[in-house]
Amino acid sequence: MRQKKKRPLPKRTKLRDERLARSMDERVAQEGLLLGVAEEFYVMMDALSLTRTACARQLRVPESHIKRILEGRNMTLRTLASLLFALGYRAEVRFVKAT
């Protein structure tokens, strides 16, 4: 049986390190946005005195859907807008320069 040749590991370069750092920063920004949405959703549910179960029932979605939102998992803007509309809320969007 023939063994596959192992590929040598790529050399570390300044450009590769910069790309890796940039992708890590991008990932942090993505996670920050998702967690920010989740936190605001918690605040909204608290203001409405809703549990996850009650919220899911009112929105007519599975409770697992609410759980994913509150865990900061990815969702579309359309889904978020629909959920907010069903609860009598709307989103405000503001962009700020990254530091």
Q: Is residue 41 part of a domain?
A: yes
Q: What is the rounded CA–CA span in Å between residue 43 and residue 47?
A: 6
Q: What is the rounded CA–CA span in Å between residue 75 and residue 54?
A: 20
Domain extent at residue 23: 16-86
Answer whether 0.75 is exceeded by the pTM: no
53: domain CATH number is: 1.10.260.40
Name the 3-class secondary structure at 84.
helix
Chain-centre distance of CA 34, in angstroms? 3
Q: Is residue 51 part of a domain?
A: yes
Residue pLDDT, tens place only, 39-59: 898 899 899 999 999 988 988
Q: What is the mean pLDDT of the chain?
A: 84
